[in-house]
Amino acid sequence: GQNIDQPTEMTATEGAIVQINCTYQTSGFNGLFWYQQHAGEAPTFLSYNVLDGLEEKGRFSSFLSRSKGYSYLLLKELQMKDSASYLCAVMDSNYQLIWGAGTKLIIKP
């Protein structure tokens, strides 16, 4: 079967760095997405990786290793507004998105 694993919850301190991991097992691979979802709101797109390596966008970076079936989202200089759930999703060989359950990130002052 197809599976996406990410930690259920993480806690970090304002101003610090946090890394959210995602491992996947899917039928084929056409890219990996990260979305941010604040409580009670819709997910919003953060990043897309299809080739191995690191993609940087301001305070957020996303890394992919296809051979290991692994990605991480790195958040630097954490702010209170970064408190949200972070969803990992993989597009399989049929271009269908397989979603992880999300990681709830709690930022403490």
Partner 1 sequence: SQTIHQWPATLVQPVGSPLSLECTVEGTSNPNLYWYRQAAGRGLQLLFYSVGIGQISSEVPQNLSASRPQDRQFILSSKKLLLSDSGFYLCAWSTGGSGANVLTFGAGSRLTVL
Pairing of strands 32-37, 3-5: unpaired
42 close to 52: Cβ distance less than 8 angstroms:
no
Nearer Cβ to partner 1 (80/95): 95
80 close to 108: Cβ distance less than 8 angstroms:
no
Nearer Cβ to partner 1 (41/56): 41
Among 33, 34, 63, 86, binds partner 1 (CB under 8 A): 33
First to last CA, the chain: 40
Position 2 contacts partner 1 (CB under 8 A): no
Binding footprint of partner 1 on the chain (CB under 8 A): 4, 8, 30-31, 33, 40-45, 48, 50, 87, 89, 91, 95-102
